[in-house]
Structure 1
Amino acid sequence: MRIEACAVNHKGLVRLNNEDNFYLSGSFIAKELVDQPSCLTKLLTDQSPVIAAVCDGVGGAQAGEVAAYTVVSALGALMSGFNQVHDTEQITIAMRRVSQRIASLRQNDTESMGATIVMACIQGERLLITNVGDSRAYLMRSDRLYQLSEDHSEVQRLYNMGIITREEMNTHPRRHVITQYLGLPETELLIEPAYSEIIQLQPGDRILLCSDGVTDMLSDEDIAQILQNVPNCETAAQTLVTSALQNGGKDNTTALLLQVLQENE
């Protein structure tokens, strides 16, 4: 199985610095380039597990930027030896280790410093999604969009309890409050990553990993329309980010798209 991948990042039109970062099979945004728009494309094979992730930093000043970079720069070593998509224990251990590393960088107990993560692990034709925080993963298959991640957010908790509707989630005043993130001190909460079911990939499938800079500016219907109508992987990823910017670009924006190629592509 061959996979075309493209990661696109932009700091947005409002934020002064970029707290997003991504990881794509060993590559991530270097510290000195993090505030510049970036685009990375790769052609991946099933010779080794494919690991891809998007991180969104949390915290004031440079804290979020440092936290996101800490995650992506450590991910390769933390996931080395990973070769079974059902090995959620290894992933949970890796997430908690990098979370502890970020927590140790905090200057004081009152400083907020952390990062969300959404990660795709592909071994052969099998896909597993894991996430901590509210960065999302979607699967586009046969013109239908499925959310594979589970938001760790206050509005998701209220929705799960039946207190608010899905429509109310988009306008609720606490919609940006996350309940878990990497860097949360274990004295407050031991993080529990969310996991999708293992998915058998098919030619033509598209997996989107993105920060809330995309999902706050684009509805699921907007995302689905772009993925339906833009067949080229790089162009689709660029279009997602450009559309988010056109709709306000209020946050750092990252879209990482994985496209399972047909045999003749």
Structure 2
Amino acid sequence: MLRFVGSGTSHVGRVRDHNEDAAYCSPYLALVADGVGGAAAGEVASATAAYVVAASTRTQPDTDPVVVLGQAIHRVVVDLHRGAAEVPERAGMATTLTALATDGHRVVMAHVGDSRAYVQRGGRLARLSHDHTFVQALVDSGDITADAAGSHPMRNVVMRSLHAGSGGEADVQPDIAVVDALPGDRFLVCSDGLTDMTDEDTVGRLLLTPDPQQAADALVDAALEGGGRDNVTVLVVDLVDDPGTTRLSGDGALFGAMRDPRNVVDPGPLRD
């Protein structure tokens, strides 16, 4: 049975006064959500998204993760809309979301925004997610080069996010896909506070650190050394296969804004 082994870390950075990143890491889910910069209550949006997806994967352990993640993302939007209606100051709150989930048989990615997921296999790093940003659209259309994207003045303009908006499902456009995954693969899920401050060569080199926690800490340190202009959250997990075992507890570790239950719209217990 496939499962994740690893952990992570979240840091407020050197400039921001609070952490709008939220993350959750368990044997069956690695998720990072990042409150969209400039929007109200980013920490509420990210923590609520992380909570809803974590709760959904725990309460439906044997359901196809493609279905679970899709349904959870739609529920996030509904909850964000409700949270903004209840507290007007939250109007406009939004978050990115990048999640890797496994039901023990395959790995599925759900992605909205500019947080990222990578896989490292045989020492080679490959990006799994595609940024939903204005600058990435320019790269895709051939208007600018990938090298120029990193210094573009609009590189942080997110084109897709989970947001309070109208609360309608039509506004949700996540990328959900089955990942080419093998036991022994190492996965990285991170906020743009890492990738804006470090290049992918550095990320790949530090990700080779054998211990997942030490690798996550080293990546965060690199982002801080690079300027730390944003919150930075990193999860590093290895995919392992335990043949013949039954599903283990889905209990997971909480990071960043998710650690404060007051950030979650109408929180309830995460139950199996």
* Aligned-partner SS, 2:235: strand
2:52–2:72: 8 Å Cα contact kept in structure 1? no
Aligned partner letter, 1:174? M
Determine which of 192, 200, 204 is the counterpart of 1:224. Answer: 204
Q: Matched residues in 1 for 2:24 and 2:63: separation?
A: 19
Cα gap change, 1:4 to 1:90, in 2 (>3 Å): closer
Q: Which runs of 5+ in 2 are unaligned?
A: 243-272
Determine which of 229, 232, 243 is the counterpart of 1:253. Answer: 232
2:53–2:69: 8 Å Cα contact kept in structure 1? no
Cα gap change, 1:83 to 1:166, in 2 (>3 Å): farther
Whether 1:146 aligns to 2:126 is yes
Quote the offset at 1:231 in angstroms. Answer: 1.0
The structure that is helix-richer by fraction is 2
Aligned partner letter, 1:202? P
Residues 1-265 of structure 1 correspond to what in structure 2 (within 5 A)?
1=2, 3-25=4-26, 44=27, 50-58=28-36, 60=38, 63-79=41-57, 80-85=59-64, 87-106=65-84, 107-108=87-88, 111-186=91-166, 190-203=171-184, 205-228=185-208, 230-261=209-240
Q: Matched residues in 2 for 1:110 and 1:4: separation?
A: 35
CA deviations 1:139-181 (Å, max 9, x no partner) are 0000110100111111111111121111111111211000111
Q: Matched residues in 2 for 1:262 and 1:120: separation?
A: 16
Cα gap change, 1:184 to 1:174, in 2 (>3 Å): farther
- Count matched residues: 237
Q: Which runs of 5+ in 1 are unaligned?
A: 26-43, 45-49
Cα gap change, 1:184 to 1:166, in 2 (>3 Å): farther
Identity %: 35
Cα gap change, 1:131 to 1:53, in 2 (>3 Å): same
1:149–1:196: 8 Å Cα contact kept in structure 2? no
Aligned partner letter, 2:213? E
Cα gap change, 1:110 to 1:8, in 2 (>3 Å): closer
* Aligned-partner SS, 2:162: coil
1:57–1:64: 8 Å Cα contact kept in structure 2? yes
* Aligned-partner SS, 1:15: coil
1:100–1:183: 8 Å Cα contact kept in structure 2? no
* Aligned-partner SS, 2:238: strand
Aligned partner letter, 1:250? R
TM-score when normalising by structure 1: 0.81
Quote the offset at 1:124 in angstroms. Answer: 2.4
CA deviations 1:203-246 (Å, max 9, x no partner) are 2x110000000000111111001112x11111101100011111
Cα gap change, 1:245 to 1:153, in 2 (>3 Å): same
Cα gap change, 1:59 to 1:105, in 2 (>3 Å): farther
Quote the offset at 1:182 in angstroms. Answer: 1.1
Aligned partner letter, 2:50? V
Cα gap change, 1:9 to 1:169, in 2 (>3 Å): same
Aligned partner letter, 1:95? I
CA RMSD, 1 decimal: 2.4
